[in-house]
Amino acid sequence: MQLYNKLSAKERAELIEKAGKDRLTLSFYVYAQIGNPQQLRDDLFITWNNLDVLGRIYVAHEGINAQLSLPADHFEAFKNHLDSIDFLKDIRLNIAVEQDNMSFLKLKVKVRDKIVADGLNDDTFDVTNKGIHLSAKEFNEMLSNPNTVCVDMRNHYESEIGHFNGAVTPDVDTFRESLDIIEADLRDHKEDKNLLMYCTGGIRCEKASAYYKHKGFKNVYQLEGGIIEYTRQVNEEGIENKFIGKNFVFDDRRAEKISDDVIAKCHQCGAPHDVHTNCANDACHLLFLQCDACKEEMNNCCSTSCKEIHALPYEEQKELRKGQANSNDIFKKGRADHLPYKKDLRNIFEVLKKDKLKD
């Protein structure tokens, strides 16, 4: 019985191309009590592998977080399978704004301690005591309220290419960092300000809203379904779009265009640009913004030294990497001293905070 992906990304891409079928990219999450995550993981893999599902799915005792793609003509069978599982029945599926048949090239279903790395001890507060969920229309109304502080719960490389007008965008590498920063900066306004939060699909806000209510915030709100669902409602209901730029997504598309605004810059030359790339040096793979001109000049690398290493024969590159274990320190996202135009959001956070919290 096959319980793990056996094809390479290249082999899978060739099969998708040969099949000639349109695929749907979608995501969903739910917090639920799962007694045996490993058994659920195996069951999901067997069923979804047969439906040609590809993606990244995390299963934990606290729930499931899924980002995936599947052939459009398998959607009904996939939805029927979800509905056969009690805690997944009628779950909202966030359909991608922009579709790409190659958004995922492997099926990875993993058991994790948590479905989002939040660093919190869930036993210390009621994770079900969440904030008030808002539709796109309600979110816009709350956003325009002068008594509201809107906070982007995503990381710096996500908000850099797109965010809501007037939102505070903490300059953080992880979701966990933002939790403490926001609480500290808003500690004197837990009762008199509306704390309005948003993220990509809603999952980070689910936990954050309960955490902030536990910390004493009285007026806590979150965007239902995140930016993805907001965009769907904007497009279908003719609601004013208050999101500028692109929405970063965690698949090979890397982003979905929500508005025509380009609010970011190439990290190497400063030209307007909002498309991420990974450094071609296998010992680096830094995620950063690189325009087409710099991509050509730097051979898809983030620095001169990486360009020189990438130009070496493959065996020499492997020799240089020997004994150097790749870690999270290598795969930083947009953090490097040699990127002169990397936007520093800390100053923006301070300015917005003073503006929002005056009086």
Largest pairwise CA distance in the chain: 64
Q: Is 205 a catalytic residue?
A: no
Catalytic, out of 150, 199, 205, 266: 199
Determine the Cα–Cα distance for residues 61 and 32; give it in Å rounded to an integer: 8
**C-beta separation of 88 from 101 below 8 A:** no
How far apart, in whole angstroms, are the C-alpha atoms of residue 177 and residue 251?
23
Q: Which long-range contacts (CB under 8 A, 24 or more apart) does 144-148 make?
A: 145/194, 147/192, 147/193, 147/194, 148/193, 148/194, 148/196, 148/356
CA 290, CA 272: separation in Å to the nearest integer? 10
Distance CA 62, CA 353 (A): 33
Angle between helices 203-214 and 175-185 (to 10 degrees): 40
Torsion of CA 204, 210, 213, 219, to 10 degrees: 60
CB atoms within 10 A of CB 289: 24
Q: How far apart are CA 323 and CA 337, in angstroms?
A: 25
Query: Scanning the structure block, which residue is given the tokens 């439906």?
Result: 51
CB-based contacts of 186, cutoff 8 Å, min separation 6: 149, 193, 195, 217, 357
Residues annotated as part of the active site:
199
